[in-house]
Every structure is written in C-alpha cells, then in structure tokens.
C-alpha cells in the first residue's frame, strides 16, 4: 500500500440500508474526506482521505450517531445487528 489511498474501517451497529445512508450523510460532507463507501454486508467503511484527513473527527461523528467505529483502519469483515429501526431489505450488493 503506497501513500494514503483508501482506508477501510470496521463499523459496528450497521444492519440495513438506513444505517448506510445515515453514516454516508454524516461523513460525506466532511472536507477532509474525498470519498466514502460503505459495505453493509461487510460491516466496513472505505474512505479515501482528503486534505487534512482527521480520522478522530470522522469517528466521533459516526459514534455520535450510535454506531461503533475504530479509528484504526482494518482489514477484514464484520457482521452486526443494527440499532436503527428503519425496516429495509438487506441486499447482497456488498458481497464480494
């Protein structure tokens, strides 16, 4: 892995597409984040850092929403139950 290309974070608490929307909407507007993609089935969030990327600020936004995320990027998959009450079909689109 060269410079800061993409970072993957394990996110706990996501269980449906509502969770994905909530987290994306929280992280996407951050100027230090160039891109965010969330894998619902994998329980991961892939971030392309922008200028002055601040993982602590990013994490605190997500934690404030009721999810768990580690500041340290990880490899691997998690699967979790979710705390949101939005009924949504969980599709297999994130499976790899």
Please identify, using beta-carbon distances, which residue of 45 and 82 lies nearer to Zn ion.
Answer: 82
CA-derived radius of gyration, the chain: 13
Region near Zn ion per CB under 5 A, out of 26-34, 44-52, 56-64, 74-82: 74-82
User: By C-beta, is 15 or 49 nearer to Zn ion?
Assistant: 15
18 near Zn ion, judged by CB under 5 A: yes
Q: CA-CA distances (angstroms) from residue 33 to 25, 47, 55?
A: 12, 7, 9
Cβ-Cβ contacts under 8 Å for 88 (sequence gap 6 or more): 16, 17, 18
Answer yes or no whether residue 33 interacts with Zn ion by CB under 5 A.
no
Which spans of this chain sit near Zn ion (rule: CB under 5 A)?
15-16, 18-19, 82, 84
């Amino acid at each position: 892995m060269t410079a800061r290309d993409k970072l993957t974070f394990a996110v706990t608490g996501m269980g449906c597409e509502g969770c994905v929307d909530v987290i994306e909407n929280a992280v996407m507007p951050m100027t230090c984040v160039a891109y965010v993609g969330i894998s619902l089935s994998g329980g991961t969030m892939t971030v392309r850092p922008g200028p002055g990327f601040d993982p602590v600020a990013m994490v605190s936004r997500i934690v404030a929403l009721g999810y768990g995320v580690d500041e340290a990027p990880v490899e691997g998959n998690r699967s979790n139950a979710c705390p949101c009450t939005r009924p949504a079909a969980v599709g297999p689109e994130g499976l790899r």
